[in-house]
Structure 1
Amino acid sequence: MSSADQYLLAVYIESQQTGAPASSGAVADRLARSQASATEMLHRLDDQGLVVYEPYDGATLTPAGRDRAEALHDSYVTLSWFFRSVLELETHESEAMELAGVIDPSVAERLTTVLPIGNPRSEGDQ
């Protein structure tokens, strides 16, 4: 996954969990990066029109950023479920975060059909 994709996904997850703009500190914590690195990337994503970043308030996804982040989130949930349920990895969330943008969405969709316990997307894994 590109670094930008990881940040978009992190902003999406943080915003979904808190109902507020994602702070650079929360995004940095989720990605195990420095706050300075997170702030820099959020500025870049703002320049690209994928987020609106306000210092001290945080980042909010634009419609284009939300579309990309939602697609990434679907793959992230499926991969996280697979890594946790099938491979029993303790690092399932970080592994899924790394790979969500790398696999084709059709691969993630097919993976949901072979997972042992129903549809992971209905479980609300974030």
Structure 2
Amino acid sequence: LYLADRRGNTPTSSGFVADRLGRSPSAATEMLQRLAAEGLVTREPYEGAKLTPEGRESAEELYETYRVLSQFFRDVLDLDAHEEEAIRLTGNVSATVVERLAATILDAEAPSESTGGAGRAADGDR
């Protein structure tokens, strides 16, 4: 829903959600009903679901967590399945951990003076 919302493709049908997530239409409908009960989406019969402002905020936080985890797994840990691993952990990682992972990624990308501009900074250089 979040990506569809960002692209302006709302409301989004439960069938579309089911296809994108590889779930049954009934499972997607059930999930959307739960999100609606939590105030994160609004649903219109035969039209689909839209994020509420609270839902958009929550989705933005989850997406940012996913993005940081995926980049960390790809760039720092060199995992081929970085996206799948990020999906598994998104929602189970605190904001503090996400902030520190993001800082680690930036640190890993920054050239170090002690290495002539290549590689990570040594612990004493931070």
Higher RCO structure, 1 or 2 (CA under 8 Å, sep 6+)? 1
Ranges in structure 2 where 5+ consecutive residues have no aligned partner: 111-126
Cα displacement string for residues 37-91 of structure 1 (whole angstroms, at most 9, x for unaligned residues): 0111102211221101224432211111112111111111101111222333343
User: What's the counterpart of residue 102 of structure 1?
Assistant: 92
SS in 2 for 1:53: strand
Q: Deviations over 1:12-59 (max 9, x none)?
A: 12322x321233233223333222201111022112211012244322
Question: Identity across aligned pairs (percent)?
Answer: 50
- TM-score relative to the length of structure 1: 0.71
Give the paired residue count: 107
Corresponding residue for residue 44 of structure 1: 34
- Distance, in Å, in 1 between the alignment partners of 2:31 and 2:20 is 14
Match of 2:66 among 52, 76, 85: 76
Q: RMSD across aligned C-alpha pairs, in angstroms?
A: 2.1
CA distance in structure 2 between the partners assigned to 1:51 and 1:109 by the alignment: 27
Note the 1:1-126 alignment, pairs <5 A.
11-16=1-6, 18-21=7-10, 22-115=12-105, 116-117=108-109
**Structure 1: which 5+ runs fail to align?**
1-10, 119-126
Structure 2 Cα separation of the partners of residues 75 and 109 of structure 1: 9
Inter-partner Cα distance in structure 2 for 1:30 and 1:91 = 18
Specify the structure having the higher radius of gyration (Cα): 2
1:24 and 1:35 in contact (8 A); partners too = yes
Structure 1 pair 88/15, CA: closer, same or farther in 2 (3 Å)?
farther
User: SS of the counterpart of 2:79?
Assistant: coil
**Separation of aligned partners in 1, 2:94 and 2:22:** 25
From the superposition, tell whether residues 55 and 112 of structure 1 become closer, same or farther in structure 2 (CA, over 3 Å).
same
Hey, what's the Cα distance between the residues in 2 that align with 1:95 and 1:43? 27
1:78 is matched by which residue type in structure 2? Answer: V
Q: State the AA in 1 paired with 2:42.
A: V
Partner-residue secondary structure (3-state), 1:52: strand
